[in-house]
Chains A and B, each alone.
Chain A
């Protein structure tokens, strides 16, 4: 199965700054990647679907100008949290689909973002 590398695993930043999180598919060309957000002891909430070479599709309630997604290549998608606020502190996880209907997703190891 596909191997997904997510970086950084943990980041601390000051309010007002921007943070970029990278998600790489190491052995598979992923046309579709997903970004999830997870609050402590809560479920995964899908934020957006990242499509290579086109604009991301955001879920209802997710601010696209705040959470910028770039899927410029088949192996890399980035999530940039712009003008971060303490309420943006969360665990962010990316995943990829190998493109087969009904097959499992492959997940990155996640990024814990803490905004001071």
Chain B
């Protein structure tokens, strides 16, 4: 079974600074998909970024980028120029790519952006 580990329960960052959230996973699959989801205080789950394991290039979405290290099974999220609206729970998630479309979530990291 796949597992997803987020070792930082809480983090804080000053506005405009950069922060990196860690995620590691365990799988025997060779092709899979990784996600970072954001859950702000509204509790609506929002996709931040997605990475396909067969792609070596790290995914980037505006201020959000990942450092995907397949051999190390690591998938960290970097948030640049942090904004107050980035305050949220961040969940790393794994999809084995099977036809059941199921996601396995990490326990989450609560990020607080301070003014």
A interface residue numbers (CB < 8 A to B) = 32, 34, 41-44, 46, 49, 91, 93, 95, 97, 99, 101-105, 107, 109-110
Contacts and interface: CB of A to CB of B under 8 A. Distances in A.
A95 to B, nearest CB: 7
B110 A104 contact: no
13 contacts: A34-B102, A41-B89, A41-B110, A44-B91, A49-B102, A91-B43, A99-B101, A101-B99, A102-B95, A104-B35, A104-B47, A104-B50, A109-B42
A97 B108 contact: no
Contacts of A99: 101
A93 B45 contact: yes
B52 interface: yes
Contact of B107 (A43, A103, A105, A109): A43
Interface residues of B, number: 25
B110 A97 contact: no
Interface in B41-70: 42-45, 47, 50, 52
Interface in B19-50: 32-33, 35, 42-45, 47, 50
Contacts of A34: 101-102
Contacts of B103: 46, 105
